[in-house]
Chain A
Amino acid sequence: MKSKINRLLKNLLNTAVASFKFRGIQFIITLSFTFITILAMLFVGIVIYNKFSTSLENNATLSTKQLVNQVNSNIEYYLKSTKEVSNLLDKNIYLNQSIPNSKLQDQMNVIQNIRSDIASLAVFSDKGELIIGSPNSVLKDKVNILDQEWFNSALNKSDNVIFSLPHVQNLFDGKHDWVVSLSRVIYFYKDNVRLRGVLLVDMNYSTIGQLCQNISIGKRGYIYIVDSDNNIIYHPEQQLINIGLKSENRQDYLGSYLENSDEGKRLVTIKTVNYTNWKVVAVAYMSEILDFKNAITSFIGWILFVCIILIVFIFGFISSKISHPIKQLEESMKMVESGDFNIYIDVKGEDEVKRLATAFNLMISKVRYLMGQIVIEQEAKRKSELDALQAQINPHFLYNTLDSIVWMAENEKSDGVITMVTALAKLFRISISRGKNIITVREEIEHAKNYLIIQKLRYKNKFKFEIIAQKEVLEYKTLKLILQPLIENSIYHGIEYMVDEGFIKISVSITNGKLLYEICDNGLGIEPYKLKELLDYRVKSNTGSGVGVKNVHERIQLSYGTEFGLKIESEMEVGTTIKIWLPLVKE
C-alpha cells in the first residue's frame, strides 16, 4: 500500500516536472492564472489585514477607554456613596443637641456595621480631641491629631470633602489598617455650644483595590489610580512600587496617548474622577495587539501559501488536461512530418480537440490515399512516356519502311523513293524534335501527314486520307505523337483487311473551348466488347492490339486530367471515329 502511494506520488511528481518543463500552453496557463490569482489574493489579504488591524487598534483604544470609564464611574459611585454617608452623619450630628450621646453612637455603629468597607468613623474637635468614634475605640497614646494631614487639609479647605492618599491609620489602639480617609469640617453642639470639628470616614484601602483589581486589559495591561501630584493611590503591583522595584511615569495629560517604555509601546488612557483630583490611568500594551496582528499575518501567510501551492497544482492539472491532447496531436503531426502516414490518433479530451483530431485523422487518410494515387500515376506516366519514346523510333515501322524503299529502288521507282525518304526524314525530325514532349498542332499534323504518306506508299494506295485543320488551331500546343498511334491502329486493324479502298480523315478544330482532333476511318470497326476495354486502365492488354490507343489516352489524362482524353465511336463494317480532346494551350 505504502509503496503504491509512493509510486503514485513519484509518477505525479514526474508528470508535474515534465509538464512544467514544457513551455507551452500548460506553462502559460498555469503561470498566468497563478500569478493573477496570487495578485488577487494578496490584494484581498492586504486589504483585509489593513482593515482588520485598524479596527483592532480602534477596538483596543475604545475598549480601554470604556474600561477606564467603567472603573472611573465605579470609583465615583463608591466615593459618592461614602460622601453621602458623611453627609448623613454631618446632618445627624448637627441635629443632635449634644454629642457624644448614645443615640449617635448607635447610628454610627450601625453605619459602620452595614458598610464593612468603612474601617472607622470619628469626629474630632478642631483642637484635635476625639469626640465620638466607631468602632468605639481608644486613641493611641501620644497620637497628635493636629499633625495628621487629613485633619489639617479638612480645616484648611473647610467647604470641601477631602480624600487623602492611602495611609496607615495609626489613631486607634491595635490598628494598622491601610485606609483612604475622607475628612470634612462639621459643626456640632457639645453642651449646647456650637463647635467646629472634623469628621473622619476611613475607607478600607482594599475596597478601592477591589474596584480595579479584576479589570484586565489584554494579558499584561492594567489600571492604576494616581492623585493630582502623581502619588499612586492604587496600583496592582503596589508592593513593588512601594519598595522601589517598579515605577510609573508622571501622567500629566488627560485622554489617550502612546508612550514608549522598557516593555514596549503602551497605550495610556487617563481620566479624572469626579469629587476628587484622582486620575484613573489604564495601560495597554500595544505589543499584545501586535502579537495578535502577527498571528493573523502568519495565518494569512499560511493560507496564501497553501492556496498558492494548491492553485499551482490545480492550474497545472487543468492546463495539462487542456494541453495534453494538443501535445498528442503535435506529436502525431511530427510523425507525419517525418513521413509516417500510417498513424491514427485516438484522442480523448475536450470536444474541440476531439474534433480537431478527427479532422486530422481524416486529412491524414486522404493524404495517404492521394500519395498512393500519385505513386501509381507517376509509374503509369513513366511507362507511357517510355512507350511514347519507343513509338518515336518504332524499329518495326522503320524496317518495313526501309524495306519498301529498297523495293521501290529496285524497281526504279525513284519518285516513290524520294517521296518516302523525304517523308521519313520529316517524320523523324518531328518525332525527335529535340526531346520535347510538347509541340505545336502544326508539327503534330505534319507528323501525321508524313506518316500517312509513308503508309500510303507502303500499302500501295489502299486508302486515301484527308487532313483538315482550322487555321487558328495550328499554333496551339499539343502532346506529341498522339495522332500517329491512332492512325496506325486505324490502318492495321481497320483498313488493312478492307476489300474496298479505305479513307482516313483527320480534322483539328476548337470545339467548346477545347482542342479537338478527330480521326475517322471507314474501316472494319471495332468489336463492341473490345471497344469497352480499349480505354479502360484496369484491363491490361497483352496482345498488342489497342496498346497504342490506350497509351495515348493515358498520356493525355495524366498530363491534363480526366476531362480530356479519347472518345471512340465505332460501328462494325462502317468505320471508327476517334475524338481526341485536349486543352487549349498557347504558350
Chain B
Amino acid sequence: MFKKRSILIFLLFILLISPSLSGIVNLNSKKDEEPKEISLILKTQSGDYWKNVRMGAEVAAKEFNVKLDFTYCSDETDITGQIALVNAAIERKVDALILAPSDYKGLVDVTEKAIFKKIPVIVIDSKLNTNKTSSYIATDNVKAGEMAGEKLVSLSGINSRIAIINFVQGSSNNKDREEGLKPIISKYPQMKVVYNNYILPDSESAFEITKKLVLGDDKVNTIVALNYISSIGAAQAINEMGLAGKVNIITFDNTTEEIEFLEKGVIQATITQRPFGMGYLAVKYSVLNLQGKKIPKYVDTGLVVIDKANMYLPENQKILFPFTQ
C-alpha cells in the first residue's frame, strides 16, 4: 500500500515538474528564435553607390537581427538575370524581399509572383510598375532632375547650350530625372538642348560622345550626365581636353572619381543621393512589415546638391565620404 503510493507520488512529481521545466526552457529559447531571412537583390554590385546601399542594409540587418542574403547581377541591364535571382529567392522561401529593379516593367511579373507567395517586397532605388509592393524607398528622381536644372541655370546662365547624356535602360530613374530636368530648361527659351540621345551604358561611350559634342558644331558648354557612369565618362573627356571650368558638368551621385573631378573643378556640381539610408531603411521597414507594423508606402531618402564650395562642409563630408570601416 505504502510503496504503491510513493510510486504514485513520484510519478505525480515527474508529471508536475516536466511542464514547468519545459516552461523554463521555453522561456530561455524564446529569445533565440530563428532570425528572419531577407533577400536583397540589387542591380549590380560595382560602384560606391551600391556598396553604400549594401552597407546600410547590413547595419540594419545587424540592428534588427535578420539574416541578409545579398545577391546582384553583373550588369545593371541584365533583366533576365535579375528575374532569375528573384525566382531563386522565392524558391528559398525567404521571409521578405528587397529589390532594386533593373527594369520598370520586366520585373513586375516575378515580383507579383513573390508577393502572391506571401513574400512581401520592398522596392528601392528605381520604380517598378506595380502597386502591390509593401513600400518604395528611393530618391525622388524627378526632383533630382529639377535640382540639376536649377543648378544648371545658376551655373551656366540662360544662354547655354546643353547636352543631356543618358543611356538606354529600362530602369525608371533616368527617365524621371529627365522629366524633372526638361520643364526647367523649357522655361528659358534661350537655352538650347542639343543632345539627349541615349548612349551605351558605359563610360567609354559617354567619353566619346562628350568629345564629339564639345569639339563639334554644337559647341555645347554645359553637360548634364544623368547617372554616375555617364558622369565619369563626360568628366574624363573634359579633363583630357583641358576644358575644365570652360564646360560645366552637372552629374549625379558621388563616386570617388566624381569627387576628385569635383575637387579639380572638372565637375561643377553633383546631385547626391543617400544610398546608405536607402539600404538601411529598406531592411528596417522590411522587419517592421514582417512584425505587422504599418510602414509608409513611399519613402523619399533625400537629395543634396554638392559643389566645390560646399563639399567640405561637415554635413556634406559625411554624405560624400561615407565611412568604409
Contacts and interface: CB of A to CB of B under 8 A. Distances in A.
A245 B263 contact: no
Given A167-B317, A245-B280, A245-B281, A12 B8 contact: yes
B188 interface: no
Contact of A243 (B11, B259, B314, B318): B318
B1 to A, nearest CB: 8
A324 to B, nearest CB: 10
Contacts of A302: 20, 23-24
A205 B323 contact: yes
Given A8-B11, A205-B323, A295-B27, A245 B277 contact: yes
Contact of B27 (A242, A299, A309): A299
A539 interface: no
B5 interface: yes
Nearest to B65: A219
A206 B324 CA distance: 9
Contact of A141 (B16, B28, B264): B264
B4 to A, nearest CB: 8
A295 B27 CA distance: 7
Interface string B1-20: 00011001101110011001
A interface majority secondary structure: helix
Contacts of A47: none
Interface stretch (A170-178, A249-257, A327-335): A170-178
B13 A243 contact: no
A310 B325 CA distance: 58
A299 B11 contact: no
A48 interface: no
A424 B244 CA distance: 177
A70 B20 CA distance: 42
B321 interface: yes
Nearest to B275: A243
A209 to B, nearest CB: 6
Given A243-B276, A302-B23, A168 B312 contact: yes
A407 interface: no
B276 to A, nearest CB: 5
A16 to B, nearest CB: 9
B139 to A, nearest CB: 12
Nearest to A294: B27
Interface in B250-287: 256, 259-260, 263-265, 274, 276-277, 280-281
A317 B5 contact: yes
Given A239-B323, A243-B276, A313 B9 contact: yes
A12 B28 CA distance: 34
B12 A313 contact: yes
A240 interface: yes
A237 B59 contact: yes
Contacts of A314: 9
Contacts of B274: 243
Contacts of B59: 237, 239-240
B322 interface: yes
Interface residues of A, number: 38
Interface in B180-196: none
A306 interface: yes
A115 to B, nearest CB: 19
Nearest to A231: B314
A9 B323 contact: no
B320 interface: yes
Contacts of B323: 178, 205-206, 209, 238-239
A314 B13 CA distance: 10
A240 B277 CA distance: 7
Interface string A168-193: 10100010101000000000000000
Contact of A168 (B17, B281, B320): B320
A140 interface: yes
B322 A309 contact: no
A305 interface: yes
Contacts of B158: none
Given A176-B256, A242-B322, 17 more contacts: A8-B8, A8-B11, A11-B8, A167-B312, A168-B317, A239-B59, A239-B280, A240-B59, A240-B277, A242-B318, A242-B319, A243-B276, A243-B302, A245-B280, A295-B28, A313-B12, A313-B13
Interface of B: 4-5, 8-9, 11-13, 16-17, 20, 23-24, 27-28, 55-56, 59, 63, 256, 259-260, 263-265, 274, 276-277, 280-281, 302, 312, 314, 317-323, 325
The 3 closest A-B pairs by CB, nearest first: A242-B318, A243-B277, A168-B317
28 contacts: A5-B11, A9-B11, A141-B264, A168-B317, A176-B256, A176-B259, A178-B321, A206-B323, A206-B325, A209-B325, A237-B63, A239-B59, A239-B280, A240-B59, A240-B280, A243-B274, A243-B277, A299-B24, A299-B27, A302-B20, A302-B23, A302-B24, A303-B20, A306-B17, A306-B20, A309-B16, A317-B5, A317-B9
